[in-house]
Amino acid sequence: MSPHDTPQASPLAHHFADMEQQRDSAKLGMWVFLLTEVLLFGGLFCVYAIYRAWHPEMFFNAHKQLNVWMGATNTIVLIASSVTMALAIRSMQLNQRKPAVRFIFATLALAGVFLVIKYFEYAHKIHLGQLPGKYYTFTGLEGTNPHVFFTVYFMMTGLHGFHVLCGMGAMLWLLRRIRKGEFSAEYYTPIEMTGLYWHLVDLIWIFLFPLFYLIG
């Protein structure tokens, strides 16, 4: 057990019978939150489906403006970050605090790499004027309404990027709490919940990547 344990640091809240019940409640709550996330992105996936069905050629031409290798690199980065996040939880389950911290740092770093690559992609598109709606000034694309593709692209990857940012915030919060000695093999629910959230962010990217970069 942790030498930092103090009475008020007991992780069991008074309204739960035991740790097991507390953990199950947290998990159910987290899954309900993840479902709302699925529906939030689901609306945008529906927008994508409608506009792609309306303008198949335009979507195909516009998707060639995206850099497949940057997208693929980001996919690999996010998969690696999902593995490190899962391993951070596993380390905490085994009461190995230092490896857990290292794995969370690795996840954080990979999330940073994802956003840096995304930044270069966005900067390039902003430079070319491949922007949503009326800000679209690019002239190198044939077809009707090519700005619609970039509207959907920026909305979906932007919302996803915001989720990556939130995940990084959650990981910093976890690192702070680990340093304070609040987690152990008995109690690591916040790490597990952050992991669930992070895997969902990965899961959404798993669909965004082929839809935008590969088939358009």
Question: Which residues of the shown chain bind other proteins in the complex (CB under 8 A)?
Answer: 10-12, 18-20, 23-24, 27-28, 31-32, 34-35, 38-39, 42, 45-46, 49-50, 53-55, 68, 72, 75-76, 79-80, 82-83, 85-87, 90, 93-94, 133-139, 144-148, 186-187, 195-196, 199-200, 202-203, 206-207, 209-211, 214-215
Q: How far is the CB of 213 from other proteins (least distance, A)?
A: 8
Which CB, 15 or 20, lies closer to other proteins? 20
Cβ contact 197:30 at 8 Å: yes
Report the C-alpha gap between 115 and 92 in whole angstroms.
Answer: 27
Which CB, 154 or 187, lies closer to other proteins? 187
Q: How far is the CB of 143 from other proteins (least distance, A)?
A: 9
Burial class (CB in 10 A: 0-12, 13-18, 19+), 139: exposed
> What does the block give as tokens for 70?
């940057």
Q: How far is the CB of 123 from other proteins (least distance, A)?
A: 21
Q: How far is the CB of 112 from other proteins (least distance, A)?
A: 19
Cβ contact 150:125 at 8 Å: yes
Q: What are the DSSP calls for 45-111, one per residue?
A: HHHHHHHHHH-HHHHHHHHTTS-HHHHHHHHHHHHHHHHHHHHHHHHHHTT-HHHHHHHHHHHHHHH
Which CB, 46 or 166, lies closer to other proteins? 46
Q: How far is the CB of 113 from other proteins (least distance, A)?
A: 16
Report CA 12 to chain centroid distance, whole Å: 29
Which CB, 24 or 120, lies closer to other proteins? 24
